[in-house]
Structure 1
Amino acid sequence: MSSSFAAIKPAIKLSDQVASALEKEIRDGRIRAGDKLPTEAALAQQFEVSRTVVREAISRLRSLGLVDSRQGSGMYVKAPGIEPLQFDLPHAASREAVMQIVEVRRALEAEVAELAAQRRTEDDIAAIRSAMQHIADAVRAGRDGVEEDVLFHRAIAQAAGNPFMISTLDYLAQFLKGATRVTRANEARRTDFAEAVTHEHRQIVAAIEAGDPAAARAAAAQHMKNALVRITQADGVFWAQDGARLAQPLVAAAVPPIF
């Protein structure tokens, strides 16, 4: 196996990071079916983590049906089709629908943030900061903060000063709110996720307030990119308990493309 891996950073649970990195290598075909994984010791050295972390990551890959052990030989990547992934169709459809909406948001939010940084007024900045504070207040009060999150992003759109863009966001509101409900439910399950979201919001606001369009665009795009990563890291328990139920309106609204 020729793949090399970067050192892991402690922002997200270490075993999840290792598992995600290995899963990507497998799904992208850089580690192929039948390939033997490096030993725990070798992986621990490459990722600069403990062998316990590697063991937990491998366990996750096994639960996904991506690898299996051969007695006395080691851990091998499984050939496609031997066993289905332990991620049933409704859950897969739910995750896919949420990710597609977040992809739409990534394009919109990046443009909106850039324009907001160019055109914002002092009143706009005050409204954006107030909306961000309302998210924190909602979380402290035990609410999910979905409405407040949506209004935060709408306040940024208001600062962009383009009524057609606001109309587009309002038209998409039912889908954006549905996806936000899923992403926030997932993020609430992990302190590191919740803290990351707060930090990302602050970065967007700081760039807008500084009047830096490029930084605002980059911060908004990164926020959505990170939201996608957090969704891919949601485990089966989340989808079984909350994710699939919350995403059901998005799945029902999905229309197959016409060619």
Structure 2
Amino acid sequence: MAKAASMADELFAKLEASILSGALQPGEQMPTQKAIAESEEVSRTVVREAVARLEAQGLVVARQGSGVYVAEDARYRAFQVTRNELSELADVIRLLETRLAIETEMAAFAAARRSTEDIAAMRIALRHMAQVSDDPIAAAAADVQFHLAIARATRNDYFVRLIDFLGLRLVPPRNLYLRDQPDDAHQAYVAKVRAEHEAILDAITRMDVPRARQAAWDHMQESLNRHSELSDVELEAQPPANTP
């Protein structure tokens, strides 16, 4: 069973690479399961599993009575960030690096284009975040709403769609950074994040583009620093590898 699963993983990766590279074009009909099984020297069961995963990822579509086709937007659907991917510090750090680049400019655009309604939405999100600060899940949801309000203030729907897509993936789990830490550490963390958010809001409210960009950069860099330092601590705590 484990061998079949491994073979399905390998076949899935190979077919996925063919789609993303353009070797299999959008709208193109996939080879039949029998043809794939013969060419790859695997069982039909392995092929079915690999193709089912391609379909689940939105990379192919099955048409009854016709066959399986590469999805027209397969190369766009391929990008995903799942919640499970963010259980490890290294993955959280990579996402924070990506957000650092995106959110600094998003805040700058928001400062230039925001409305009074946008500011109200940001304030409501921050108020709610303070009210539920003892509940990490609810606080993270309010945090997302704050960043979504900034995205809407840009008047650029692509920012909105990106932030909406990332959802709770935007906010690293507090317990990942503060695990085994006392309550006062949690409270200090909440207060620091609140101050960083307030600085972003103040700059956007004043329509100060350079300061909004800097405040967003400071916020993301602080989060990146916190998690990078924790990663360094974990590496130092690891026992040395055995040497021959």
Q: TM-score, normalised by structure 2?
A: 0.53
> Residue 210 of structure 2 corresponds to which residue in structure 1?
214
Report deviation, 1:111.
1.1
> Residue 111 of structure 2 corresponds to which residue in structure 1?
117
Deviations 1:17-66 (A, max 9, x none): xxxxxxxxxxxxxxxxxxxxxxxxxxxxxxxxxxxxxxxxxxxxxxxxxx
For 1:164, the aligned partner's letter is: Y
Question: Where in structure 1 are there 5+ consecutive unaligned residues?
Answer: 1-92, 240-259
Q: Do the aligned residues in 1 keep the contact of 2:144 with 2:168 (CA within 8 Å)?
A: no
> Residue 133 of structure 2 corresponds to which residue in structure 1?
139
Inter-CA distance 215–237: structure 2 relative to 1 (3 Å threshold): closer
Deviations 1:186-214 (A, max 9, x none): 25842333221111001000000011011
Inter-CA distance 165–100: structure 2 relative to 1 (3 Å threshold): same
Task: Say whether residues 1:165 and 2:156 are aligned partners.
Answer: no
Query: Which fold has the larger relative contact order, with Cα–Cα distance below 8 Å and residues 6 or more apart in sequence?
Result: 1
Tell me the distance in 1 between the aligned counterparts of 2:134 and 2:119. 23
Question: Where in structure 2 are there 5+ consecutive unaligned residues?
Answer: 1-86, 236-244
Report deviation, 1:101.
0.4
Inter-CA distance 138–217: structure 2 relative to 1 (3 Å threshold): same
Percent identity reads 33
Tell me the distance in 1 between the aligned counterparts of 2:195 and 2:178. 13
Report deviation, 1:181.
3.8
Tell me the distance in 1 between the aligned counterparts of 2:175 and 2:163. 19
For 2:173, the aligned partner's letter is: V
* DSSP 3-state at the match of 1:200: helix
Tell me the distance in 2 between the aligned counterparts of 1:175 and 1:220. 18
> Residue 186 of structure 1 corresponds to which residue in structure 2?
177
Q: Do the aligned residues in 2 keep the contact of 1:187 with 1:194 (CA within 8 Å)?
A: no
> Residue 148 of structure 2 corresponds to which residue in structure 1?
154
Inter-CA distance 187–135: structure 2 relative to 1 (3 Å threshold): farther
Task: Say whether residues 1:226 and 2:222 are aligned partners.
Answer: yes
Tell me the distance in 1 between the aligned counterparts of 2:202 and 2:131. 20
Report deviation, 1:231.
1.0
Q: Do the aligned residues in 2 keep the contact of 1:186 with 1:238 (CA within 8 Å)?
A: no
For 1:111, the aligned partner's letter is: E
Q: Do the aligned residues in 2 keep the contact of 1:131 with 1:148 (CA within 8 Å)?
A: yes
Q: TM-score, normalised by structure 1?
A: 0.50
Q: Do the aligned residues in 2 keep the contact of 1:200 with 1:223 (CA within 8 Å)?
A: yes
Tell me the distance in 2 between the aligned counterparts of 1:128 and 1:134. 10
Instruction: Tell me how large the CA RMSD over aligned residues is.
Output: 2.7
Task: Say whether residues 1:130 and 2:148 are aligned partners.
Answer: no
* DSSP 3-state at the match of 2:132: helix
Q: Do the aligned residues in 2 keep the contact of 1:187 with 1:230 (CA within 8 Å)?
A: no
For 2:205, the aligned partner's letter is: E
> Residue 65 of structure 2 corresponds to which residue in structure 1?
none
Q: Do the aligned residues in 1 keep the contact of 2:89 with 2:176 (CA within 8 Å)?
A: no
